[in-house]
Structure 1
Amino acid sequence: MNDDRLHEWRHRHRHVLYALRWFAVLAIPATLAVLFVWCAGWFSPRLGPARIVDAFQATTTPHPGFRRNHAKGVCVTGHFVSDGAGTLLSRASVFAHGQYPVVGRLSIPGSDPGQSDGAAPVRSFALRVLLPHGEEWRLAMNSVPVFAVRTPQALFEQLEADARDPGTGRANPAKMQAFLDSHPEARAFGRYLDRHPPSSGYDNATYYGISAFEAVNGEGVHRFVRWEVVPENAYRPADAGRLRDPDFLAYDLMKHLRSGPLRWHLMLNVALPGDTTDDSTRQWAQSPDRMRIDVGTLVIDRAQAQIDGPCRDIIFDPTILPNGIAPSSDPLLAARSATYAESFGRRMREESAAHAGAH
C-alpha cells in the first residue's frame, strides 16, 4: 500500500482506530476491576457497578464525557518527597527516600460539571504517584474523614433518594429524609460538616483516605493504617463573598500557584486495638497512644484545565496500590473500583462516538 492510499485509509477509518485505541486502554483495567469485585463478592443479581453509575446519572441532567461523580475539577501536577519514615510501617517503594512524580485532580462532589463551587460542602483530592519498576499508588481522598454510607447497597439507596424528579427537576426532600431515618450511620457525615465548614480553597483543606488499608513492612509486620494529607496553608472557612463566585476554587488555586508551590504532609495513622477497619462511616478516635507518622511532603506546582489536562483519562482507583499496601475488607473499596471503571468506560465511549460523529 503506497503512502497516498495508506493516508486515505487512515482518514476513512480514523474513528475505528480511535475506538480500538480506547478499547485497548479500557480492556485490562475493566477486566481486573470485574475480577476484583467478583472475588470480593460485591456483584449480585440486584446490584452492580452499572446500576450505581446509572444512579449517579439520575441526580443531574446528562453530561456526556464527564465523570459521573466529581465532574467538576482541575488537574494538578507535582511530586512527592518521601523522607523514609514510612518504611517503619510499609515496604512500599513510595516510602523509600526519594522524589516521585505526581499527577492529581482537585474537585468537588457531584455529577454536574457546571455546578457552583459554593454548593459543595466537600473538597476532594485524587493522586497518582508514579513509582519505580512500573508501580503506581492511586489515592482518592475527601475533606471529610468519613463516608455517609457503609455499603454499596446503602450508596445506591442514597443516590436514589437524591435522584431528580422528572417533573420538577429537583430532588424530593422527603425521600432523603426517609433515607436518613433508615440509615442513622449517615448522620455522622452531616454532623462533621456542621462542625467543619468547607475550606476557603483547595489549598488549605486536609484530605482523608477514609478507608483503612493494610501495611506490611520489610520484616513482615502487618498493621492497618488510614492516611491523610495535611496542608501547610492554614485552614480558613469559605466566606460569603467567595461563595458567590461559581468558580472560586479553581481561580484561587491558580492564583496561589503563581506565587509558588503548595505543600501537604502525608500522615499515616496506625490502628489501635478495637478500631474498625471495614467501616468507613466510623472515624478513629484521637488518642495519645496512636502512632502517627509524617512520611513525606506532597508538592503541587502546576494546575491545568481538566478538559485536556494530564488527569483527564486517569481512573483514580484507590485499590491500585504498590507492593506493601493492600486493601482492607471495607466493602466500599471494591465497589469504588468497579464503579470508577464503569464511569470511565462510559466517558470513553461517549468521546469515541463524538469523535466519530465529527468525521
Structure 2
Amino acid sequence: MTMPGRADHQRGHGLLLRWLAVFAAPMLLLALFVWCAGWFPPRLTSQRIVDAFEATTTPHPGFRRNHAKGICITGHFDSNGNGASVSRASVFERGSYAVVGRLSRPGGNPQQDDGEALVRSFALLIALPHGEQWRLAMNSTPIFAVRTPQALFEQLQAEALDPHTGQANPAKMQAFLDGHPEARAFLEWVRLHPPSSRFDNAAYFGISSFRTTDAQGVQRFVRWEVVPDSPWRPVEARAQSDPDFLSHALMTQLAKGPLRWHLVLNVAMPGDPIDDSTRQWIDSPQRERVDVGTIVIDRAQAQIDGPCRDITFDPTILPDGIAPSADPLLAARSSTYSVSFNRRTREEAVAGSNGR
C-alpha cells in the first residue's frame, strides 16, 4: 500500500479550502439577508432597556426613566457594630455615617397619582470613611417579578403604550405572564400585601443576594431589609384623594420627629437561591438575622433641587467586604441606571441652555 506523501496532503488541504470558499460566500450572503430581514434579534443592551422603560409612558425630559416620582431625604446611619460578625465592611464599624436617600414609587411618570402605586421604594447612599460608599436600592417587596434582563425587557415591551390608543395592551401582558410563570409569585405577593399608608411605615428589601467577607476571610451570602419603627397600616381610601399623599404624609411625620428603620442582614442557609431575585428565602427560626444598626431620616426635600437629584442609586457600588452575587439583574441595573442618568442630565442641560 502506498502511503500518502506530503504533496498529497497539501493538495487535499487546498481542495478543502477551495470548497469552503465556494460555500462561504453564499452562506455569508444568506446570513446578511436574514440579519437585514430582522430574523436575528438585536443584542440586548442597557440602551434598549432604557428605551423600553421610556415606551411605558409619555416623555418626561429630565426625570428618571423609572421611579420618576420621589422625594429626597437626608439623615444618618447609626451602626451598632454587630455587622462585623458578617462583614469587614467599614459601614459595620460602630459609629454614625451620613446618609442621602430617596423615597419613591415605580413608574416613569412623575405626575402619576400615588394611589395607583402598589410598591414603594427606598434608596440610600451611606457615606463611609476613605471615600467609600454603600448604595442601596430597595423595594417594599422581597422579590422581583423577573429573573433576567431579557425577561425584564420583555415585561417592559408588554407594558409599552400603544401609539394609537395611548394605553397598554392587556393581551401583551397576558402573553408575557403566560411565558413567564415566575412573575406570578410577585403578583401574588402584592395581592396578599396591600401597600402601606405611608413611606415611613413600610419595610423595604434589597431583593438580590450579596456576598460578604468578614475579617477572617469567611464568606457568606446575605439579603438585607430595613424594618420601620412605625407600625404598618394599609392605604385608606380618603388618603388616596390626594395624588401626592405619600410625600405629604412624609413631611407631616418628619415635623413630629426623625423616622427610623432597623437595617437587618439575613444570612443565607443551605438551599437558598443566591442568583434568583424571583424566589423568596424561607422564613425560618434557624436563619441568622443580624440587626446592624438604625437608619435615621430627619429631613426631606423636593427632588427637583434636593441632594438626591444627581445620584444614581447603583446597588453594585459597595464598600470592601460586600460584593454582588451572580444575580444577573445586578449588573443590568447598574448599566441601565447609568444610561438613564446620562439621558436625563443631558436633557436638563439642553433645557437650561434653551432657557438662557
Scaled by the length of structure 1, what TM-score is found? 0.87
- Write the deviation string for residues 156-190 of structure 1: whole angstroms up to 9, x where unpaired: 00000000001111000110000000000000111
- Which residue of 2 is the match for residue 342 of structure 1? 339
CA distance in 2, matches of 1:245, 1:104: 24
- Which of these residues, 51, 54, 58, is aligned with residue 51 of structure 2? 54
Q: Please state if 1:242 is matched with 2:239.
A: yes
- Which residue of 1 is the match for residue 91 of structure 2? 94
- Which residue of 1 is the match for residue 255 of structure 2? 258
CA distance in 2, matches of 1:141, 1:257: 21
- Which of these residues, 124, 129, 153, is aligned with residue 127 of structure 1? 124
- Which residue of 2 is the match for residue 216 of structure 1? 213
- Write the deviation string for residues 179-210 of structure 1: whole angstroms up to 9, x where unpaired: 00000000011100111000000000000000
- Which residue of 1 is the match for residue 197 of structure 2? 200
Shift of 1:45: 4.8
CA distance in 1, matches of 2:250, 2:349: 31
Q: Which amino acid aligns with 1:285?
A: I
CA distance in 1, matches of 2:89, 2:182: 33
Structure 1 unaligned segments of length 5 or more: list them: 1-43
Q: Which amino acid aligns with 2:76?
A: H
Q: Which has the higher contact order (CA 8 A, sep 6+)?
A: 1
- Which of these residues, 320, 345, 349, is aligned with residue 352 of structure 1? 349
CA distance in 2, matches of 1:243, 1:219: 51
Q: Please state if 1:66 is matched with 2:53.
A: no
CA distance in 2, matches of 1:252, 1:349: 32
CA distance in 2, matches of 1:276, 1:60: 33
- Which of these residues, 268, 276, 285, is aligned with residue 265 of structure 2? 268
- Detail structure 1 runs of 4+ shifted over 6 Å in the superposition: none
Shift of 1:352: 1.0
Q: Which amino acid aligns with 2:47?
A: A
- Which of these residues, 299, 312, 325, is aligned with residue 322 of structure 2? 325
Matched length: 316
CA distance in 2, matches of 1:160, 1:45: 14
Scaled by the length of structure 2, what TM-score is found? 0.88
Percent identity for Structure 1 against Structure 2: 70
Q: Pairwise CA RMSD of aligned residues?
A: 0.8
Instruction: Look up the SS of the partner of 2:109 in the other structure.
Output: coil
Q: Please state if 1:155 is matched with 2:138.
A: no
CA distance in 1, matches of 2:184, 2:43: 26
